[in-house]
Amino acid sequence: MTDAAAARPPVLLSPSLLACDFARLGEELHTLEQAGVPWAHVDVMDGMFVPNISFGLPILAAARRVSPLYMDVHLMIEQPERYLRDFAEAGADGLTVQVESTRHIHRAVGQIRELGKRAGVTLNPGTPLEAIRPVLADVDLVLVMSVNPGFGGQKFIPASVERVREVRRMLDDIGSQADLQVDGGVTAQNARALVDAGATNLVAGSAIFGAEGGAAAGVQAFRDALA
């Protein structure tokens, strides 16, 4: 382990609510809280940026009402700047925008921070990492997508590990303390390799909510893998 890696805080899990039972949203959030998970990942899809529609503001607001968890909102929507204020007001703590979804990524990141929220940037598996370099110093979180966004339960793209390693280098080079998050097909089996490559924050949907024994067991499997 390098000194920089040793100095990093413990890996944070951000379970993706996309895979939870929406009819029991409050209970699912409570289970996460009881399991000591501090974040919940909220996947917003508009049927345009990605070929699927998930949910939007009312679900985030409902989650916010019943849970103290940090709401980690991942916007997979065209021109997210149109809705940043609404998501901030609905209860987001962090807002992550796709670099491909706006012509003005620098402005979008600035707007998130002006709203008093933590700003994240993310990119699809086919987007060159150079696309995020201009805003790296301005973000609190970088998310490396390890599937093509749009659906839960997809297979992890193995080349993502190298992309995480490269983003880790890019962040360390500028002395950034930003979270380095990975999302898509993350499991207790590939978690270790991602953390070794420099990830500090793992999103997992089906691996947590689909775990035999429920979400608490899913969380425990990650803890065991990372111990």
184 binds, among Zn ion, ligand DX5, none (CB under 5 to 8 A by kind): ligand DX5
Query: Taking CB under 6 A as the rule, does residue 185 contact ligand DX5?
Result: yes
Find the part of the chain contacting ligand DX5 (CB under 6 A) among 78-86, 101-109, 132-140, 152-160: 152-160
146: annotated binding-site residue?
no
Give the chain's radius of gyration (CA, Å): 16
CB atoms within 10 A of CB 177: 11
Q: Kindly tell me which residue out of 71, 186, 194, 221 binds ligand DX5, with binding defined by CB under 6 A.
A: 186
What secondary structure does DSSP assign to 75-134, as a single string?
EESSSGGGTHHHHHHHT-SEEEEEGGG-S-HHHHHHHHHHTTSEEEEEE-TTS-GGGGGG
Query: Taking CB under 6 A as the rule, does residue 198 contact ligand DX5?
Result: no
74: annotated binding-site residue?
yes
Question: What is the binding site for Zn ion (CB under 5 A)?
Answer: 43, 74, 183
Q: Which two tokens stand for residue 222?
A: 């990650």
Continuous segment of H or E residues that includes residue 195: helix 191-196
State yes or no: is 21 an active-site residue: no
206 binds, among Zn ion, ligand DX5, none (CB under 5 to 8 A by kind): ligand DX5
Buried b (16+ CB within 10 A) or exposed e, 83-95: bbeebbebbbbbb
State yes or no: is 93 an active-site residue: no
Residue 213 DSSP code = T
30: annotated binding-site residue?
no
Q: Which residues are marked as active site?
A: 43, 183
Binding site for ligand DX5 (CB under 6 A): 16, 18-19, 41, 43, 74, 147, 149-154, 183-186, 203-207
